[in-house]
Structure 1
Amino acid sequence: MNDQAQGLRDLVQTREAGVRETRVITVTSGKGGVGKSNFTLNFAIGLQKRGYKVLVFDADIGLANIDVLMGVTPKYNLYHLLKREKTISEIIYNGYHGLQFIAGGSGFNDLIRLSDDEVQYFSKEVEQLNGQVDYILFDTGAGLTKETMAFILAAQETIVVTTPEPTSITDAYAIIKMVTNMNHRIDFKLVVNRSGDEREGKQTAEKITLVSQKFLNLPISTLGYVTDDALVSKSVKRQIPFTIAYPNCSASRSIDALVSRYLQEELRSRKAVAEGQGVKGFLSRMFRLVK
């Protein structure tokens, strides 16, 4: 409760000072099936509950499902923005706790084929979000696709979601290694999903963080773990985020702890948006990478 109150005080002070920083976060995973989108959604709701304005951008090409997890069927998605049929405000939908989201559909496939005029239109529309929300979370596709790599390299920070399964750990490290070997220093944060208990969560995280430090000379922050909770799959079937459907279940308590940890780390270094940061900087870097 103290963490939450402090976070709200810091947010109010920041806004009173005229500083409105929109922070862009990419959420990714080395392989599919680790619960990345479910984590993204519930983590975003956790931030929203703390008084922050959050928008989730479903960037999972071909497997966009943020809307499905909330039982919403958007009439318009990113495709309609790219085709100039709708403005950015017309494709934003509201979910639980006022959480805003943009459905991806097949739209992100078209990003690499946009003309210069279309890039300018898209960028101008998305830049309107800068200062209107505190956080934009891009839920990317799993694996090492060109589009996913562009989002990772363009964002201010990347949350990597893994599970205790050996293949998931290996694939998560592979993403971190590839980005680092491209001479990009990204602020990676690690989340262990579907952990049997705290001990397994810590052991899984250490396998990645220790190897990253030893072989890549890259320190990685561990946000924490989300327990393997049967009520999570139950909430998916109900199409209600588990932090809403079962706010007191072990997975929901894990998310609350993760949000607290994230805000403690992020608020300590909260500053005005530096040149090249924010939404405009993100878009500029992303289009250089996907072209």
Structure 2
Amino acid sequence: MNDQAQALRKLVQSQQSGRTTRIITVTSGKGGVGKSNFTLNFALSLQAKGYKVLVFDADIGLANIDVLMGVSPKYNLYHLLKKEKTIWEIVQKGPGELEFIAGGSGFQDLIRLSEEELDYFSEQIGQLNGYADFLIFDTGAGLSKETLKFILAAQETIVVTTPEPTSITDAYAIIKMVHAMEYNVKFQLVVNRVTDPNEGKHTANKISLVAKQFLQLDIPTLGYVSDDPLVSKAVKKQVPFSVAFPNCPASKDLQELVNRFDHGLPAPEPEQQSGVKGFLSRMIRLMK
């Protein structure tokens, strides 16, 4: 009964907030670039600025947001798709009361939903409309069918890369492939594990210049994050580095990055195009 009452309060809260939830996907061209770690600490830094954030772990087979937080979620997307739990019952909490939804094996089932199951999924996810300022999807590395759907439906994607040549090449390949599908996706770059700001700027410029020359796309750079040994130490402790070491170089870089992101927030789009409702309508079209 208490769970039902709490779910009802959350539903009323989301409907009365008047906010438009901004949907963001975070992806990378290859694994091992620190994408999930960035997503988690980016979300925590946004929350520290007063925003309400919900993280959705959409990395099929390699979902690890919960591991990075040292949390064992009781429920995940699978329980929602099987109608065993409601959307509010699968929302879990991590450090700093950050709310997240664990993907588990649920995303593999997501692309095989029947019409009735898809309707239920949409109705449940739709309840998140207005609940948070940001709904951030941590997608899988590379351009799988599932990752592609989230990128196209969200229409706003942060691409995480590193200065390694293969990482740069794969990051550009994702941008090029999505652009070829003629969807209006807004990309921003984050260069992780840089030795200094000049390396970050040089890496970002490589991608931006090629995208401008061959795709006629402007790809802004959101920021750079230092190659900081304390990040690895935090991972081993299963504590987000921005929490474990708030004054380390990587945490300071992230704070600057989030400030830049915050100052660049655009005016809300018309309701039918933005928020959870717009995301769902695009996602459903992509699934059919």
- Secondary structure of the residue aligned to 1:104 is coil
Give distance in 1, aligned partners of 2:287 and 2:248: 40
Give distance in 2, aligned partners of 1:253 and 1:43: 12
2:66 alignment partner AA: D
Corresponding residue of 2:107: 108
Shift in Å, 1:182: 1.0
Give distance in 2, aligned partners of 1:133 and 1:227: 29
The 3 A distance-change label for structure 1 pair 18 and 110 is closer
Corresponding residue of 2:268: 271
Give distance in 1, aligned partners of 2:18 and 2:147: 30
Corresponding residue of 1:45: 44
2:254 alignment partner AA: I
Contact 1:20/1:272, CA 8 A, preserved across alignment: no
Give distance in 2, aligned partners of 1:19 and 1:209: 36
Corresponding residue of 1:284: 281
User: Matches of residues 1-291 of structure 1 in structure 2 within 5 Å?
Assistant: 19-266=18-265, 269-271=266-268, 273-291=270-288
TM-score, length-scaled by structure 1: 0.92
Give distance in 1, aligned partners of 2:271 and 2:72: 37
Give distance in 2, aligned partners of 1:174 and 1:56: 25
Give distance in 2, aligned partners of 1:239 and 1:18: 33
Give distance in 2, aligned partners of 1:74 and 1:125: 19
Corresponding residue of 1:4: none
Contact 1:23/1:156, CA 8 A, preserved across alignment: no
Instruction: Give CA deviations for 1:122-181 in whole Å, capped at 9, x if unaligned.
Output: 111111111110000000001111111111111031000000000000000000000111
Give distance in 2, aligned partners of 1:58 and 1:229: 24
Shift in Å, 1:18: 6.8
Give distance in 2, aligned partners of 1:97 and 1:75: 18
- Secondary structure of the residue aligned to 1:113 is coil
Contact 2:155/2:184, CA 8 A, preserved across alignment: no
Contact 1:34/1:162, CA 8 A, preserved across alignment: yes
Shift in Å, 1:271: 2.4
Give distance in 1, aligned partners of 2:270 and 2:74: 34
Give distance in 1, aligned partners of 2:67 and 2:287: 27
Give distance in 2, aligned partners of 1:70 and 1:221: 30
Give distance in 1, aligned partners of 2:83 and 2:270: 29
Give distance in 2, aligned partners of 1:233 and 1:290: 37
Identity of aligned residues (%): 68
Shift in Å, 1:290: 3.0
Corresponding residue of 2:13: none
The 3 A distance-change label for structure 1 pair 272 and 181 is closer
- Secondary structure of the residue aligned to 1:261 is helix
Give distance in 2, aligned partners of 1:168 and 1:279: 31
Contact 2:226/2:250, CA 8 A, preserved across alignment: yes
Q: Which runs of 5+ in 1 are unaligned?
A: 1-16
Shift in Å, 1:19: 3.9
- Secondary structure of the residue aligned to 1:271 is coil
Give distance in 2, aligned partners of 1:275 and 1:223: 27
- Between 1:277-286 and 1:210-219, the stretch displaced more is 277-286
Give distance in 1, aligned partners of 2:214 and 2:107: 34
Contact 1:48/1:98, CA 8 A, preserved across alignment: no
Contact 2:20/2:274, CA 8 A, preserved across alignment: no
1:57 alignment partner AA: F
2:52 alignment partner AA: K
Give distance in 2, aligned partners of 1:152 and 1:30: 13
